[in-house]
Amino acid sequence: MLTAGLAAAQDSTTPPDSSATTSEHPVASAAKFLAGGAVGLAAHEAGHLLFDGIFGAQPGIKKVDFHGIPFFAITHDAGLTPRKEFIIDSAGFWVQEATNEILLSRRPNLRRENAPFTKGVFAFNVLASVAYAGAAFARTGPYERDTRGMAEALGWKEPYVGLLILVPAVLDIIRYYQPDARWATWGSRAAKVGGVVLIFR
């Protein structure tokens, strides 16, 4: 996963059990953290664009707002099959989940590392899933939101899609704080795979 590789390249990590301290300025650390978040956002959107391109869905950008907060949405042609619609709308979450899986598998003690860029990527991934899940539970936000499209493609109520993306995010948070919690590791992996196999439904 390119995002995980970039995260590894950007950070100069300190071994978890090392007594070495870093002299990096807090402003520099904050900037790296925010840059990691921006890369996480770009990777999420790139997931949508990848499958837009594969399916020839003519992607575009549309200005939207979330309760007065301006934002943008990547749109695509209407009239796709439910399976293609589900894949395109899910792709951003798949990128997030795959990136977190690589990071937590290769760096289980990430929390203890001096790695603000990687932590920014991870934080975006889990917080975006939590935010989308909240919007799905409340059935609120712009019409173009991913969870609404996923729910419509599956024929589900949107809160169920909220659970689908919330569970792996919560389990990854547990893994971040408790890397030895094997039940969380395998539960997270099962939930991520379960979200992908729905394309065969």
pLDDT digits (tens, 9 = 90+) for 4-62: 666 655 665 555 544 444 567 899 999 999 999 999 999 999 999 999 999 998 888 77
For 71, the 3-state DSSP assignment is: strand
Residues β-bridged to residue 62:
73
Above 80 in pLDDT, residue 112?
A: yes
Phi-psi region of 42 (alpha: psi -120 to 50; beta: other; left: phi over 0): alpha
Q: Which residue has the higher pLDDT, 73 or 116?
A: 116
Q: Is the pLDDT of residue 119 over 50?
A: yes
Amino acid at 194: G
Q: What is the pTM of this model?
A: 0.85
Question: Of 135, 119, 132, 115, whose CA–CA distance to 173 is shortest?
Answer: 119
Residue with tokens 């995980």: 4
- Cβ 48 vs Cβ 130: under 8 Å: no
pLDDT over 70 (residue 136): yes
Q: Is the pLDDT of residue 139 over 50?
A: yes
Check if the beta carbon of residue 125 is closer than 8 Å to that of residue 169: yes
